[in-house]
Amino acid sequence: MAKHKLQRFAENLTFDNLFQVSWDDLQAGPYEHRGKWNEYFQNDNPIILELGCGKGDYTVALARRNPQCNYIGVDIKGARLWRGAKTAIEEQMRNVAFIRTKIETIDRLFAQDEVSEIWVTFPDPQPKKPNKRLTCERFLNTYKKMLRPGGPVHLKTDSQELHEYTRDEVIPEGHYEVEFATNDLYNSGYEGEAVEVQTFYESGYLAEGKPITYIKFRIK
């Protein structure tokens, strides 16, 4: 397994759609693509992020469905990102990119109003560390710095605890606008990308009969 990781790390360095950004890189000065991501994609299409994207299968699937949008998956695990980046290259998808970095630094990689939409799919629910949850107020304040006014945030998770924490504590405290929320997405009658695209792990949860929760809310 370690050998495969090393091989993937080496191959990651050759991918032109995978950017690896360290804390030292950010301390050296403004990140080169900050405010210029549309130049990288060579179009003016909306930029949509998936935070904690893992292998990037959800990012790639969304990009396949919506070629008129640009998608960037973010995760700290390089061996996981390898799969999504490689798939996008093999399929010659020019509307997909990936960033390996800590999500705590994400606002240093994107300028104000540069991001149109954010997906948070099956993140670590951090049951004992609420301040590390990707939907806690600390992170949402970070997202505000780069998300366009009224831009939606999607939380899709198998964790009822994380769903309820976000819905009942974080959203009311921040006065965010809830567009849709359900404790059981696939029995809710909802129509849209949240049910039409699944991650690898999500398919497994559904096979086990485990309900998937979903919230779509807007940060003003």
Q: Are 25 and 31 in contact (CB under 8 A)?
A: yes
Q: Are 97 and 40 in contact (CB under 8 A)?
A: yes
Alpha helices for 66-175 (secondary structure H): 78-90, 137-144, 160-165, 171-174
Q: Are 78 and 8 in contact (CB under 8 A)?
A: yes
* Catalytically active residues, by annotation: 124
Q: Which two tokens stand for residue 32?
A: 């080169």
Q: Are 53 and 59 in contact (CB under 8 A)?
A: yes
The DSSP string of 99-130 is EES-GGGGGGTS-TT-B-EEEEES----TT-G
> How far is residue 99's CA from residue 74's CA, in Å, rounded to a whole number?
5
Q: Are 84 and 10 in contact (CB under 8 A)?
A: no
Q: 169: Cβ–Cβ under 8 A, 6 or more apart, which residues?
A: none
